[in-house]
Chains A and B, each alone.
Chain A
């Protein structure tokens, strides 16, 4: 699972987007690289909100304002095998709190929260130079839970929630990137595209930029080790044997790569962007995988018939979804 960062540059409804500007900056900032368009990519996000939260708050003294809850559906053409559903954790457990002793996704959002904050502080220098806003982790949103579903289920589930769950889920908006392009620049792959809202009305939302680090990474050795239990050395020269790898190492890896991505973004010098790199929960699948490998246990995400890695892309999906969660 590669480490990525996502930036979003909002645009006024009738103004032109920053897409041309960014492409130009890419060209001028990296004169040594051929800016060859490698292909196209698409994105679709459908945002649902909890229906009760849409009611006007009567702001009585005894009623504390409830946190808004979201359910976000995301499909990315570069992870075409599955779709992503990112949902706010339930505020209170319904009847029976599920047993969280197992390595279940329920347990994961608890761990990365301190890490996200710490990394955000540690990477503050990089963020400052890039001139971007900090992580958009707003405190009034409850933690989110990532679920990946087979692609065939993606639209069926969305239809199900709009049909059968109206009292608690309400479709608020859909945004798409229809004609995204991507380039390889050095060790990075950059995906660019205009974000356009298609529901409830048609309008331009802005430009999204995904920067993917394709250089050597500790994480790659984990991917390789899933199939063969050999402790491979990464070609970065970082001599990491699997047994020595701790969760903190992964956090450090993410933080270090975030610095690289921020530096890259800083070279472009684009103002007014929202950044999502070390969002809450990022890297939790990687850690899960590490736990599994260490315990030599077969885990949640065994390859299914038509999907080699059902959890691939969960991190980049989180980043997109953080940055595209428009308030409506």
Chain B
């Protein structure tokens, strides 16, 4: 699958106004969303990349060449994305009254009575962390692979190969490790989503977690409060991303249609924001 994109930078003071403009354009209310984004890096045992050229009795030379070529193929960073609710943040007001009630009724939450709370035990019992209804074991994930944008395209849109696949819930790190990926770090994306025909408009910004020692090596099992999250861009500015998916990137006709749709949107939004293609190397996902 291919993805075609245009980006625009939106300063903080324009954010509220643009939200309204987009709501008017798309005739829908913005959908506020938070996404946990875990960055994984493809790894390989050191040393093996240098192909051991030697006796090749088992493999035919053509096969060997192929294997060598594969060994030197590209490796990528990939993201595992999990949507969360604003209620998942600590102190976000635990809406689940039952959880509160059982917590109050149960003075010793370390050993909850199995009969009272079998259905949905949202709280982890570490009392030092502010509680929320967040349950890491029920967190849904999807793998989002994005290739480096295609080089040398005439068209004024960013286009790249993409793949999105749902993964099992809960702790995804063991599976990712086995598949050849190691966890690097994670961040959070906060933003609003609009749909305009076939185009997804995302007005978002990146938030960083507060750094707690010992938490960097694995995905967090608890969410901090939203106030503790700091925007990556200190000015608090947002990015508007207009994206469109194309099933078959080799079909020139649909690719053209898709970019024309994006240009149409760029024209419509001309007086508000300037949508343009991104610098290719800034979207490089290759492992070097």
Contacts and interface: CB of A to CB of B under 8 A. Distances in A.
Give yes or no for direct A-B contact (beta carbon below 8 Å). yes
Contacts of B140: 304
Residue among B54, B179, B183 with max Cβ neighbours from chain A (10 Å): B179
B14 to A, nearest CB: 37
B138 to A, nearest CB: 6
Interface string B67-80: 11011111110100
Contacts, number: 179
Nearest to A54: B67
A297 B121 contact: yes
A295 interface: yes
Contacts of B64: 55-56
Contacts of B73: 166-167
Contacts of B182: 94-96
A296 B70 contact: no
Interface residues of B, number: 64
Contact of A149 (B51, B145, B166): B166
B72 A167 contact: yes
B175 interface: yes
Contact of B163 (A159, A169, A229, A298): A159
A134 to B, nearest CB: 26
Question: Which bracket fits the contact residues of A?
Answer: 35 or more
Contacts of B147: 164
Interface stretch (A100-108, A122-130, A187-195, A246-254): A100-108
A91 B48 CA distance: 14
A153 B167 contact: yes
Nearest to A57: B52
Interface stretch (B3-11, B38-46, B91-99): B38-46
Interface in A158-175: 159-161, 163-170
Interface string A36-64: 00000000000000011011111000000
A160 B164 CA distance: 9
Contacts of B143: 153, 157, 160
Interface in B156-197: 161, 163-171, 173-175, 177-180, 182-183
A58 B174 contact: no
Given A56-B55, A96-B183, A296 B117 contact: yes
A168 B145 contact: no
B166 A298 contact: no
Contact of B118 (A71, A163, A296, A302): A296
Contacts of A220: none
B1 to A, nearest CB: 9
Main secondary structure of the interface of A (DSSP, over half): loop
A12 interface: no
Interface string A136-161: 00000000010111101100110111
B44 A168 contact: yes
Contacts of A297: 121
B163 A296 contact: no
A288 to B, nearest CB: 11
7 contacts: A55-B68, A56-B58, A87-B178, A147-B178, A164-B78, A298-B119, A302-B138
Interface of B: 42-45, 48-49, 51-52, 54-59, 64, 67-68, 70-76, 78, 112-115, 117-121, 135, 137-138, 140, 142-143, 145, 147, 161, 163-171, 173-175, 177-180, 182-183, 217-218, 221
Closest 3 CB pairs of A and B: A296-B114, A94-B182, A166-B73
Given A88-B178, A98-B171, A300-B169, 12 more contacts: A51-B71, A52-B48, A55-B51, A55-B71, A56-B52, A89-B178, A94-B182, A98-B173, A98-B174, A106-B177, A164-B145, A229-B115
